Amino acid sequence: MSVKPDVIRKCLWPACLVGLFITGILSLDCNFLNIHLSRVTWQNLRLLSVMSNSFSIECLRENKAFELPEEILSHTQPVKNDIKEAFYEASIQAFNIFSQYTFRSAWEEKHLKQIQIGLGQQLQYLEQCLEEEEKENEDMKEMEEEGTKHSATMVPRLSHLELRRYFNRIDNFLKEKKYSHCAWEIVRVEIRRCFYLLLKSIALLRRK
Amino acid sequence: MLLSQNALAIRPLNLYPVVYISLLFGILHAVSVSPDESCISFNLTLRNFRLILSWELKNRSIVPTHYALSYTIMSRPAGEMIVEDCINITRSFCDLTDEWDSMTETYVTTVVGIRGNTTLVSCWDRVFPALDTSLEPPEFEIVGFTNHINVIVEFPPVIPKMLVMKNLQTQLSLIIEEKSGSIVKLHRPKIDGNTTGNFTYVIDKLIPNTEYCVSVYLEPKEAEKIRRSPLKCTLLQPGQESAAVFTSTIITLRRIGYICLRNNYPKVLNFRNQSAWVFPELPPLEAVALVEIIHINRKKKVWDYTYDDESDSDNEAVPRASAGGYTMHGLTGLCPASTSSASSEDCFDPDPEEPSLPQPGAESEPLMAPGPGPWQSECTDGAYERTRNLLQDPFPEEDSCSTEGTEDRIIFNVDLNSVCVSTLDDDDPEVPPVLSCIPEETVDLEDAEEMETSLLVAGGEGMQLPFPSPPVECLWPEDAPSEKSDTAESDVDIGDGYIMR
């Protein structure tokens, strides 16, 4: 009997967080998406850095190489859409992983909530702008070609698959270590590393 | 019974704190051996594009004499990495520019404090360079012009690999702030991994006669954490560029000596420090002497195949052409009555058949014939007196002087500076006459003044030798020698040189 309230509590909370800001997100202009992504990512980086002071040096024994696909995020000529889609994939995967964290005294609860809120906003913003771009692309293709519809979402790109595999490795690590404190510390540091690379990709895109 | 039961209950209760305390001490003991996170604070700084990690022990009562640094990369489980340049060091900082190559990694850094052979402390902490690096502004200079400013930023010869990504793009951005009053503009010059040395950025389209201040810093950092360089200001003067060009032109002209001619006088001519004034002697006035040329017409003699001494060519004063193209006139003896017997002996004996030479005035100072050319004079080797006598009497030979005058006379002024003097050597007609007005020693030009003075002394009667440069050597024209042999026997051969005056 006590299981349902816990499940509801776990699922409801992220849903409410996303729904609270959906109206605000829909009114955002996609031309400022890069600025929003940079600001939110920087904020998440700082939060991930200060939210934990309980790292133990013994945790280094459980250290693992997750093989972050850096080449996807550091192209010489990053494609604009690829960066947005990489942001979307990384944001939703990180959101799902942090959602599995049970609130303990090791991490600052408020910092973790702020991270989740930021990721939620980022996801909605990205979805809106990506859908608009897809509609524009489809309209253009219908005008050029007849009877052929190509949707980017139906054929996931290789970069998305690489990122998905990366976050799957993180998720498996947590399960293997039974969501221990050291495992969470190692995952926190790894996701922070991923966010930093995404931030650099956006910075490179803005310079061009 | 109850008491025993209570006693039994109390004993475990009393043991619990004891056990707890003992366990606590054991844990603390265990913790004190392993590295402690809270005993050290790290400070990572990018200074002049060098990554410097410094540390400070929180417990200042612990003062190690040496330190050892090591680190572990969290995403690379390759074990602990020891920094070889930071082992057994006395300083409390370490240059990790060549050790750490990624800003995305988290470095678990350990510092061991040692004194002698004893490890005093072992502390560690996590360092995330992307957020923990303090970016010090680079060194820069500004040069202001009329309507633009050159900002020169100093970059290292090689940018640290941590700051350069695989595509040569840099992790950092250079920001140049331009301030004028309350207006602030940001300039973001493009830099990459190949940007080295002095990097110049031009801020143009500025307003002349306006003060601008420039500051430089590196990104990325939150706005409140940016470390800006101190402001450097310049006032843009109108015509600053033209003034710079004008100044550089003046400097160039002065260097080449076109203006403000160089006065690199020798030290000997520096009289500033001399207490006594030196009044230089007035240069001797040029003496322009009155020369009377007596032209002697001689009959053309036909050799009658006799070797008569009377037909000695020495007695002739016929103008003869030398190989040098000059027509030479012999200056016959002009022996004033006041001359001494010694000088009279030096007079030349002209051909008695010829009309006698007139006696010149007592004041006349017969000298060599000048000018366009032809002359014949004699000078002897030896002392200055001989030279003087030569000047007074151009015929210092043993022949007596003829006092007979001639009817043909040419009187003209002679500028001694334009006269060259040569001697005739009668002893060996085949030997070209040695020319030397001045004595046998070679006279250097440096001794010009001395020679001139000595000659002045030898002048005696006040006749001055107005030659500016003393003769050094007597040189004949080079085309003279070929014809010497032709006239060697019958005529007086003239050497190859001139006495330069």
pLDDT, tens digit, for every residue of A86-95? 888 999 999 9
Q: What span, in angstroms and rounded, lies between the C-alpha atoms of B237 and B208?
A: 6
Of A65, A74, A196, the CB nearest to B167: A74
Residue B249, min C-alpha distance to chain A (Å) = 43
Given a cut of 70, whether residue B391 has pLDDT beyond it is no
Given a cut of 80, whether residue B184 has pLDDT beyond it is yes
Two structure tokens written together for B327: 């027509």
Chain B 174-213, residues with CB within 8 Å of chain A CB atoms? 190
Peptide bond into B352 cis (omega under 30): no
Average pLDDT estimate for B13-21 = 60
Given a cut of 90, whether residue A3 has pLDDT beyond it is no
Residue A102 lies in a domain: yes
Q: What span, in angstroms and rounded, lies between the C-alpha atoms of B415 and B394?
A: 16
HSE on the CB side for A86, CA within 13 Å?
29
pLDDT, tens digit, for every residue of A11-65? 777 777 666 665 555 556 788 888 888 888 888 988 998 888 778 888 888 888 9
ipTM over 0.85? The verdict is no
Length of chain B: 501
**Number of CB atoms found within 10 A of residue B157's CB:** 7
Contact A57 B128 (CB under 8 A): no
Residue A177 lies in a domain: yes
Residue A115 lies in a domain: yes
CA A82 to each of CA A28, A34, A38, A159, A166: distance values in angstroms, whole numbers, following the listed order? 20, 13, 16, 8, 17
Given a cut of 60, whether residue B449 has pLDDT beyond it is no
What pLDDT does residue A50 have? Answer: 86
Two structure tokens written together for A149: 């519809």
**Number of CB atoms found within 10 A of residue B414's CB:** 22
Domain extent for A92: 76-142+156-207
Residue type present at position B66: H
Q: Is B209 helix (H, G, I), strand (E, B) or coil?
A: coil
- Nearest to B196, CA basis, from B167, B154, B168, B225: B154
First-last CA distance in chain A: 57
Residue A194 lies in a domain: yes
Given a cut of 70, whether residue A117 has pLDDT beyond it is yes
Residue A70 lies in a domain: no
Q: What span, in angstroms and rounded, lies between the C-alpha atoms of A96 and B204?
A: 51
First-last CA distance in chain B: 154
Contact B75 A193 (CB under 8 A): yes
What pLDDT does residue B84 have? Answer: 93
Contact A45 B171 (CB under 8 A): no
Contact B74 A65 (CB under 8 A): no
Query: Which residues on chain B are in Cβ contact (under 8 Å) with A45?
Result: 130-131
Residue A11 lies in a domain: no
Residue A71 lies in a domain: no
CA nearest to B110 within chain A = A57
Number of domains comprising chain A = 1
Of B77, B103, B126, the CB nearest to A65: B77
Residue A163 lies in a domain: yes
Residue B148, min C-alpha distance to chain A (Å) = 25
CA nearest to A77 within chain B = B167
Length of chain A: 208
Identify the CATH number of the domain in which residue A203 sits: 1.20.1250.10
- Nearest to B501, CA basis, from B458, B463, B471: B471
Contact B75 A203 (CB under 8 A): no
Given a cut of 70, whether residue B327 has pLDDT beyond it is no
Contact A42 B222 (CB under 8 A): yes
pLDDT, tens digit, for every residue of A141-182? 777 765 554 444 444 566 778 889 999 999 999 999 999 889
User: Treating both helix axes as pointing N-terminal to C-terminal, what angle do A158-176 and A80-99 enclose, rounded to 10 degrees?
Assistant: 20
Query: Which residues on chain A are in Cβ contact (under 8 Å) with B193?
Result: none
Q: Between vectors from CA B99 to CA B96 and to CA B102, what angle results, nearest 5°?
A: 100
Is A203 in contact with A38 (CB distance < 8 Å)? yes
What pLDDT does residue A70 have? Answer: 80
Interface residue of A39, A47, A184, A189 to substitute, partner B, most B CBs within 10 Å: A189
What residues have CB less than 8 Å from A8, skipping those under 6 apart?
A: none
Number of separate helices (H) and strands (E) present in chain A: 8, 0
What pLDDT does residue B397 have? Answer: 45
Residue A133 banded pLDDT, cuts 50, 70, 90: confident
Q: What span, in angstroms and rounded, lies between the C-alpha atoms of A201 and A133?
A: 20
Contact A193 B220 (CB under 8 A): no
